[in-house]
Structure formats: structure tokens, C-alpha cells
Amino acid sequence: MARKMRYWISVLRRAGAYEEKGSGSSHRKWAHPDIPTKLRIAYHKEGVDAKPYQENDIREFLAAIEEAKRKHK
């Protein structure tokens, strides 16, 4: 069962990611100060189910954050 986008948003925030302000695009950009790449995901409301590819993208982004944290220690 897919999780809601609000769950993934809370996970991203707890990991230290922040949402960059965009220019009104349907995609939202998430960044983290320790990694150069950004996560771009499209959603309009936080209550919608996350699609499988979105969950995979978020998991990869979170893994990159964890790897960066391990390298800084």
C-alpha cells in the first residue's frame, strides 16, 4: 500500500532536507546542504498517495543524505 505524500515530506524534513521555493511549477524541489543533487517530485496535495516511482526517488535521495552524513563523520 502506498504511503501518503505527507509521510514522505515529514521523513525528508526529519532528514534535514528543505523545499526550495519554485516558480509555480508542478514539480517541487527538495535539497539538502550536504549533497549537490536535488530531488524533484510532482504532487499537488500532501494527502495524495505517493506513486511507486516517487517513493523510489525519495528513498534514493534519503540514501544519498545518509551516505553524505557518513562521509562527514
Q: How confident is the model at residue 46 (pLDDT cuts 50, 70, 90)?
A: confident
Number of Cβ atoms within 10 Å of the Cβ of 48: 13
pLDDT per position as a tens digit, 4-20: 999 999 999 999 999 98
In which domain, by residue range, is 48 found?
A: 5-72
Mean pLDDT within 13-40: 88
Helices 5-14 + 52-72 axis angle, to 10: 10
Q: How confident is the model at residue 2 (pLDDT cuts 50, 70, 90)?
A: confident
User: Domain containing 12 — which CATH number?
Assistant: 3.30.920
pTM of the model: 0.88
The domain total for the chain is: 1
